[in-house]
Amino acid sequence: MTALLDSTIHAIQSLDETAMRAARARQDQLTKPQGALGRLESLSIQIAGITHAARPRLAQPALLTFAADHGVARQGVSAYPAEVTPAMVMNFLHGGAAINVLARHIGARVVVADLGVASDLPTHPNLIARKIAYGTRDLSAGAAMSRAQALQAIETGIEIVAHEIERGADVIGTGDMGIGNTTPSAAIVATITQRPVAEITGRGTGIDDAGLKHKIALIERALALNQPDRSDALDVLSKVGGFEIGGLAGVMLGAAARRVPVVIDGFISGAAALIACGIAPSAQPYLIAAHRSVEIGHRAMLEHLRLVPLFDLDLRLGEGTGAALGISLCCAACKILDEMATFDEAGVAGKNQ
C-alpha cells in the first residue's frame, strides 16, 4: 500500500448522522405525505450524510470518463475492433458522443483521461494524458498488469478526482471507454462474487452466441491460469482487470475521502466499485448506483455491493451515460429537500392538524 492510497483510505469517514437526521426531519415536514417522494427522499438524506450538509446543493457535476485498451480484445471478445477506443476518445473530446449530449443536458463537464489506450492520441487541451501502458496484457495468457501498475491506476484516479474537486466538482459520475472491457469486468465480478462465469458474462457490444461461448471460455481460462485472490482486490485488479477500471476505483476512493458523492454507471463502473470496496469497504456508503445495465452480471455486482439502482432503462453503452442521468436525479432530490416549502412555511395544515 502506497502513502497516497493509505492516506486516502484513512480519510474516508462514516456518513454524518447529524446531517442525515436533520435532512430526514425536514423531509417529514415538507408539503407532502411523509415518504410520498420515495427514493428521492432517501437519496437526499444519503447525500446529506455524504456532504455534511443538512440541505445539500449540487451545482457542479463532473463526469470522469477513463479510456484504456485490453490485450484480450485481440481474442475477438467484442463486436468492434480495438481501433474504436481512440476514435471514441476523440469523439468525446469533440463533443459528439452520447455522454457529451447528456452532460450538456445536466450542466456537467466531461473529463476525459487516457490511462492506457493502445495508441498515441493527438494532444488536446481537454485530454488528461496519464497512460500507464499501451493497453493491458491478454488476461487469458497471464496477468493483465503488474501489481505496481494496478496501484498506479488507482492512484491516478485519486489524483484526477482530487484535482476536479479542487476545481469545484461537488458530485462525480464515472464512465469508461475501452473495447473488450466487459471481459475483465466479468472476470472481476466472477472472482469477487464467486458466481459461475457463464452466469455473469454478457454480450458486451453485441457478440453472437458463438462469440459469447468463446468469451466465457476465455474468462474461465484466465481465472484458472491467474488464480486471483478475491480477498485482495489489488491482486484481482492486477491479474484480470483494466487500467480504466483501476482508475475509476481510485476516483471512488478519492471522492469518498473528500465527502463527495459518486454516481456509478454500469458494468465497468460496477467492476471498479467492487475493487474500490474491496480495498476500502468504508467507501460503499458514498456510492450511488445510477442504473441496472443490460449486462447480466451487473445485477450480481449490485447485490454484492448492496446498492439499489435508481432506474433501469436497458442501457449498455457505458461512457458515463447512466451516471449522467443518475446525477440528474441526485440534483432533483437535493432541490426537493432544499427548495420545497414545509407545512409551516406554506401555511398549510399538516397531518392531524
Supply the residues annotated as catalytic: 319
3-class SS at 163? helix
Residue 200 has phi, psi (to 5 degrees) of: -125, 10
Shortest CA distance to 20 belongs to which of 39, 57, 38, 47? 47
Q: Which residue reads 467507501 in cell numbers? A: 283
Residue 64 has phi, psi (to 5 degrees) of: -100, 110
Q: Are 128 and 111 in contact (CB under 8 A)?
A: yes
Q: Are 277 and 188 in contact (CB under 8 A)?
A: no
Q: Which residue reads 437526499 in cell numbers? A: 44
Instruction: Identify any residues that bridge with 262 across adjacent strands, giving them in sequence order.
Output: 172, 287
Residues with Cβ within 8 Å of 90's Cβ and at least 6 positions away in sequence, in order, are 121, 122, 124
Give start and end residues of each alpha helix (H) in the chain: 3-11, 17-29, 39-51, 84-94, 98-106, 147-166, 182-193, 197-200, 209-226, 233-240, 243-257, 267-279, 297-305, 321-339, 343-346
Shortest CA distance to 135 belongs to which of 45, 88, 73? 73
* Interatomic CA distance for residues 76 and 105, integer angstroms: 35
